[in-house]
Amino acid sequence: MPLFYRFLFLMATLLTAADLRAAQVCGETGVWVQILGAGGAEINDGAAGSSYVIWLDNKARAIIDTGPGSSVAFDQSGAQFEDIEVMAFTHLHADHSADFAAFVEGSASLTRTAPLIVLGPDSAVPGIPDMSTFVDRFIGAEGVYPHLQDFLTHKSSGGYRIRVRNVPSSGVKRWAQFGSEHLRLAAIPVYHDGVPALAWRVEVGDKSVVITGDFNNQKNVMPKFAKNADMLIATHAIPENARGNQKERYALPSQLGRIAKQADARMLVLSHRMNRTRGKESLSRQAIEEHYQGYVLFANDGECWGL
């Protein structure tokens, strides 16, 4: 490409990227999505575990997943836990859920009074708890942190009660039974090597964010579920040349590109980045852009994207 055209291409790219309004601090108006953690399960990747906050008009309204380090990142974001209406989980592996108790413990001294709705997958898999059992094992009377048990009752010393609900994690039926004045949530089961798992869609006014969690798109349910999403956040845990069991757990970059194209998503954000994909971003982008021509972004902790 001649130098002049390279310059024009670069300027167009910079102008387009500016329209996405990436920042380390979310804006005061509109809908924003903040990446609390863009890492995976590794403790040598320099990133917190998967976690995302949905903001509306400078108030954090929803948290999706609470991976390790996310409670600290939440504190640093300036968000107020009193404003959170719902906490939803894609699945209950530690790299997506370990900080749940830290959020509860950390909120004990706040002035929150409204119930906190906690949503996550049910389970028919032996040895894997459903959302309700998970919470009880963490903060129930016989849980790891029994001193937090009254958060599950109307006598809560923290001032608010946690209400837990299991969401179907098998089949292909869409679940859409949460809504408030500010947002609506829907979920659909996804395949993650036999682990009960969900993808979530958060709708705020006319804006929508879809978070896949960990999945391999076995039943190709994501394109319809993510249709016309303003942002599709997908797990980028394996490179395009992955083989064997990794492909049972996760979608390849090329598959993510096909999903984003079929869904006509405005932007594709690659999160849950693993060491095996870091440093291979250009190869992943190339595989994605063979199918999808929208914005492709690689997530980092703390980033906040305006919709």
CA 108 to chain centre: 25
Per-residue pLDDT at 261: 98
> Would 249 be classed as within a structural domain?
yes
> Would 11 be classed as within a structural domain?
no
Q: Read out DSSP for 267-278?
A: EEEEESB-TTTT
Per-residue pLDDT at 219: 83
Per-residue pLDDT at 248: 86
Determine the Cα–Cα distance for residues 171 and 31; give it in Å rounded to an integer.
31
> Would 102 be classed as within a structural domain?
yes
Q: What DSSP element (H or E) covers 121? A: strand 116-121
What's the number of domains the chain is made of?
1
The CATH number that applies at residue 58 is 3.60.15.10
Spell out, as residue ranges, where the chain has pLDDT lower than 70. 1-24
> Would 283 be classed as within a structural domain?
yes
Determine the Cα–Cα distance for residues 55 and 64; give it in Å rounded to an integer.
12
Structural domain for 73, as ranges: 23-306
State the alpha helices, DSSP H only, in 78-186.
94-97, 100-106, 131-139
> Would 211 be classed as within a structural domain?
yes
In angstroms and rounded to an integer, the radius of gyration of the C-alpha atoms of the chain is: 19
Per-residue pLDDT at 24: 65
Per-residue pLDDT at 157: 81
> Would 251 be classed as within a structural domain?
yes
Query: Which pTM value belongs to this model?
Result: 0.91
Per-residue pLDDT at 9: 40
> Would 113 be classed as within a structural domain?
yes
Looking at residue 72, its amino acid is V
